[in-house]
């Protein structure tokens, strides 16, 4: 494959992993939106490269992902595969990783997922909840791990014992989140609150609760993560975390452009973006936890 290089435009590859509903993904669409804003302004062409979720050999052998074709690579996520990423860096290709804050000397930009999750669970605890469950995201991603860790930290800081029965994995997917919610809400000592690591999974929890005649928020409080526009179609306004995904995509392109153009005085470039807790009607204060 041969791509003609232009002296006017730079070419960045945006690597996106393949998963269920990828073309309906709020995260992916927001990343592309933000990256496109900056790319247009900076005269950068973006090539979207869809990769397998677990096997990343194409990062190294794809004819597109090399310096003869592109000026840099943006990773929408790396699924914690730092080993293969370092091999890409060894090929002297300028890279920047999104959705991961890495200790290694690698350019990166991420959301403060751990502290955001702590904020959500602290809020639920402040409403009187002690039986708080979580539907975690994909634990092969740093975002999934950090949101679960934030959940655990918040419980520990408030001296609430960790109940492993209250931890279920939804992988940021509808079907698995639905199954996780079914399990949680079938427990004899079911939770009074659920923190789902994405809005899509939170909406599945609300659907399961409705099917089981469990009222949200009177009998069950539910909080999500993303501030996905899809929640506006829910009959219940969802408490959630607003995360600056578009900003992350925009800043990622700008930061990599600065690296490629030699405008960065000190490498690596690392950025951690803050979040905002949005309190809505899906959570309610309780006075007795049973």
Element (H, E) at 48: strand 44-51
The per-residue pLDDT of the chain, averaged, comes to 93
Query: Yes or no: is domain 10-111+244-274 CATH 3.40.50.2300?
Result: yes
The pLDDT assigned to 7 comes to: 59
Predicted TM-score of the model (pTM): 0.90
Per mean pLDDT, which of 51-60, 63-72, 155-164 is the most reliable? 155-164
Rounded to an integer, the average pLDDT of 124-136 is: 98
Domain coordinates of the chain in residue numbers? 10-111+244-274, 113-242
**Domain 113-242 = CATH 3.40.50.2300:** yes
Instruction: Tell me the pLDDT band of 1, cut-offs 50, 70 and 90.
Output: very low
Domains 10-111+244-274 and 113-242 belong to one CATH topology: yes
Q: ∠ CA 54-55-56 to the nearest 5 degrees?
A: 110
The predicted pLDDT at position 202 comes to 98
97-123 pLDDT, tens digit each: 999 999 999 999 999 999 999 999 999
Distances (CA, A) of 233 to 153, 166, 242: 32, 28, 17
């Amino acid at each position: 494959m041969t791509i003609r290089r232009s002296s006017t435009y730079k070419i960045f590859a945006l690597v996106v992993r393949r998963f269920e509903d990828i073309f309906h993904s709020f995260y992916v669409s927001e990343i592309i939106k933000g990256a496109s804003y900056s790319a247009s302004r900076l005269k950068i062409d973006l090539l979207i490269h869809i990769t397998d979720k677990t096997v990343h050999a194409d990062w190294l052998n794809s004819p597109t992902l090399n310096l003869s074709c592109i000026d840099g690579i943006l990773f929408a996520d790396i699924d914690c595969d730092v080993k293969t990423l370092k091999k890409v860096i060894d090929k002297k290709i300028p890279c920047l990783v999104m959705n991961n804050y890495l200790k290694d000397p690698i350019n990166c930009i991420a959301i403060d997922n751990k502290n955001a999750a702590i904020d959500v669970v602290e809020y639920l605890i402040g409403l009187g909840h002690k039986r708080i469950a979580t539907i975690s995201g994909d634990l092969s991603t740093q975002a999934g791990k950090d949101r679960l860790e934030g959940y655990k930290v918040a419980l520990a800081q408030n001296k609430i014992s960790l109940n492993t029965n209250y931890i279920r994995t939804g992988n940021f997917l509808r079907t698995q989140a639905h199954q996780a919610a079914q399990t949680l809400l079938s427990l004899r000592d079911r939770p009074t609150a659920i923190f789902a690591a994405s809005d899509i999974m939170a909406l599945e929890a609300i659907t399961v609760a409705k099917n089981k005649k469990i009222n949200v928020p009177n009998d069950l409080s539910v909080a999500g993560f993303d501030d996905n526009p899809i929640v506006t179609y829910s009959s219940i306004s969802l408490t959630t975390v607003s995360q600056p995904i578009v900003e992350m995509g925009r800043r990622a392109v700008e930061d990599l452009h600065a690296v490629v153009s030699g405008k960065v005085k000190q490498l690596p470039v690392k950025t951690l973006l803050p979040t905002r807790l949005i309190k809505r009607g899906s959570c309610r204060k309780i006075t007795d936890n049973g």
